[in-house]
Amino acid sequence: MVQILLDRHLDANGFDAHMWADTPYKTIHDVRNAAVPPKCGVTGTGNTGYYLPKLLEQTIGTKFNLVTGYQGGADIELAVERGEVQCRAFTVQVFFGREPFHTWRKKGLARVLVQTGNKRDARLPDVPALQELMNQYQTSEANRRLATVMLGSNGFGSCPTISSPGVPDEQVKILRAAYAKALSSPELVAEAKKRGLEPELIAGEELESLAKEVIVQPPEVIALIRKVMGE
């Protein structure tokens, strides 16, 4: 088993799906009940922009029309501004970290409809978390496990630190303590916040437990993963 140390988590609540403000889709429930699904810009299959809308379809019954083929995020952002598409799924970190989203938020041009963290991000207090929505719509156990697997990377943070198998437990304990102390540096936290990041410490024990939860899945869930990933 790979030994997971810990991570200074720079994006506490992972991914979000945002919608251009002048569309009729004011909430994720509007998307779920819409006769015409909104168009979401995507580069291709196998990335956040593709699999998050597909995961929402599978777990809470929303519908999206995914328009693939864009070369990158900047192209999708321009497409949203031009009205070619109305939505995009990506990380909360990016939404609060750079343009054009600073301007979009300031002018009220976009709204976030759903977030994937286990709890609501303090910056998005009125946006429902997927866990809440799955409870509301009585999502099946298999689809809940699917969400756990697909969103597992969110729980690991931006760059979890690992070591090779077989490292003695005592050494792992020392490394975790040293890493935690280093990442508690006020200078590091200040620099991260200056760059639009929100540091949050996640213990290695928590990440190790999450790894075990994500990796071991029955064939039914593996089949759902392939479906969501477009395989």
Q: Domain residues of the chain, as ranges?
A: 3-9+157-217, 15-154+220-228
pTM: 0.75
pLDDT of residue 14: 59
Do you find a cis peptide bond into 100, omega within 30 degrees of 0?
Answer: yes
pLDDT of residue 2: 37
C-alpha to C-alpha distance for 216 and 222, rounded to whole angstroms: 10
Q: Which of 101, 57, 56 is nearest to 80 (CA)?
A: 101
> From first to last of its 231 residues, what are the pLDDT tens digits of the chain?
334 343 333 333 456 677 888 888 999 999 999 999 999 999 988 788 899 999 999 999 999 999 999 999 999 999 999 999 999 998 888 888 889 999 999 998 988 999 987 788 889 999 999 999 999 999 999 999 999 888 876 667 667 778 888 889 999 999 888 878 877 888 888 887 888 777 777 788 888 888 888 888 889 999 999 989 877
Q: Are 88 and 52 in contact (CB under 8 A)?
A: no
Query: What does DSSP say about strands 110-115 and 7-9: parallel, antiparallel, or unpaired?
Result: unpaired
pLDDT of residue 125: 93
pLDDT of residue 6: 38
pLDDT of residue 201: 73
CATH number of this structure's domain 15-154+220-228, picked from the four choices 3.40.50.300, 3.40.50.720, 3.40.190.10, 3.40.50.1820: 3.40.190.10
